[in-house]
Amino acid sequence: MILQPVNSSKQMTEERSLKRTKSMGTIEGVDLVPAGRKRLKVFTQDDLVLRDMLPCELMDAYDVKVTMQDALTEVSRVHSVPLSMVFVLEAPGKLFTSVGHAVLKGLLNPAAAKMEQMKTEEANLAPDEVHSPIFSVAAKALDTQVLDSATVEPIKKEVSLEPDVKAAMEDNAAVNFEVWDKRSVQNFDETAVSRGALKGCIVRRRVVSFSTPSKSFFFGVIDATSCEAF
């Protein structure tokens, strides 16, 4: 669009060019178009004539759509009114275009936007916060060299090295009552209940429950043969 600042085919000095730019409202080279200015002057390609910037050039600078340019020009011509230059007071089209692209990019590809957000959040976290809370507790304990029982025991409880028996059994597998019986008897604290009192409570039924002041027990299967052991 514009034009090397020359005068009589001679390149103007930078100082003189700047002076003329400010005094006459001209722009040159890669200068940007002053926002909100309705009238601007430019040099033509023959380097001799100074003229006003054409409205269509100004519309181009403000990213007014070609169809809208035609409409504005047509209204001005048909009604014999000056061309409305109100567009210089509005935001240029490229701003809206970029906003629209950003919105659609986020809405049409939410997974990518979510991933980008997670990356940003993770980058803002401290290194020890990225890992699980268990490791965070252990790391803090190691940092402070305080490995007392109060710190270690909760970690040992959460990080169990024993195999998970329940996970190894299928959901629909038959219940092994024998293991259940042995486990119930082994866990029974016989010191809490006297042998005589226990004998009095046992009846010849398949399922019996006991209650003691300290704890409650549920015996899966007890029959007469089991009672003989007491």
Partner 1 sequence: MVAGQGSPIVFVQGSGSFYKAMLVKTCDLLPLLLVVVTRKDEELTWTGFVEDTLVHHFEVGGMTDGAWSIMSNQKLSLETSGLR
Burial class (CB in 10 A: 0-12, 13-18, 19+), 207: exposed
Is 135 among the residues that bind partner 1 (CB under 8 A)?
Answer: no
Q: What is the smallest separation between the CB atom of 18 and partner 1, expressed in angstroms?
A: 15
| Rounded Cα distance, 48 and 134, in Å | 79
Is 33 among the residues that bind partner 1 (CB under 8 A)?
Answer: yes
Q: What is the smallest separation between the CB atom of 129 and partner 1, expressed in angstroms?
A: 22
Q: Residue 53 has what DSSP assignment?
A: P
Q: Residue 207 phi/psi, 5° resolution?
A: -130, 125
Q: What is the smallest separation between the CB atom of 90 and partner 1, expressed in angstroms?
A: 7
Residue 60 has a CB neighbour count (10 Å cut-off) of 15
Task: Decide whether 37 or 227 has the Cβ nearer to partner 1.
Answer: 37
Q: What is the smallest separation between the CB atom of 62 and partner 1, expressed in angstroms?
A: 7
The answer to whether residues 185 and 165 touch, using CB atoms and an 8 Å cutoff, is no
3-state secondary structure of 9: coil
Task: Decide whether 89 or 147 has the Cβ nearer to partner 1.
Answer: 89
Whole-angstrom Cα Rg for the chain: 44
Is 61 among the residues that bind partner 1 (CB under 8 A)?
Answer: yes
Binding mask 75-114 toward partner 1 (x if CB under 8 A, else -) reads ---------------xxx-xxxxxxxxxx-xxx-------
* b/e code 120-139 from CB counts within 10 Å (16+ = b): eeeeeeeeeeeeeeeeebbe
Tokens 């024993």, residue located = 162
Task: Decide whether 47 or 60 has the Cβ nearer to partner 1.
Answer: 60
Task: Decide whether 33 or 193 has the Cβ nearer to partner 1.
Answer: 33
Is 35 among the residues that bind partner 1 (CB under 8 A)?
Answer: yes
Is 34 among the residues that bind partner 1 (CB under 8 A)?
Answer: yes
| Rounded Cα distance, 50 and 42, in Å | 6
Task: Decide whether 27 or 138 has the Cβ nearer to partner 1.
Answer: 27
3-state secondary structure of 52: strand
Q: What is the smallest separation between the CB atom of 52 and partner 1, expressed in angstroms?
A: 17
Residues 6 or more apart in contact with residue 4 via CB below 8 angstroms: 11, 28, 29, 43, 47
Count, residues near partner 1 per rule CB under 8 A: 26
Task: Decide whether 35 or 147 has the Cβ nearer to partner 1.
Answer: 35
Task: Decide whether 2 or 222 has the Cβ nearer to partner 1.
Answer: 2
Q: Which residues bind partner 1 (CB under 8 A)?
A: 32-36, 60-63, 90-92, 94-103, 105-107, 117
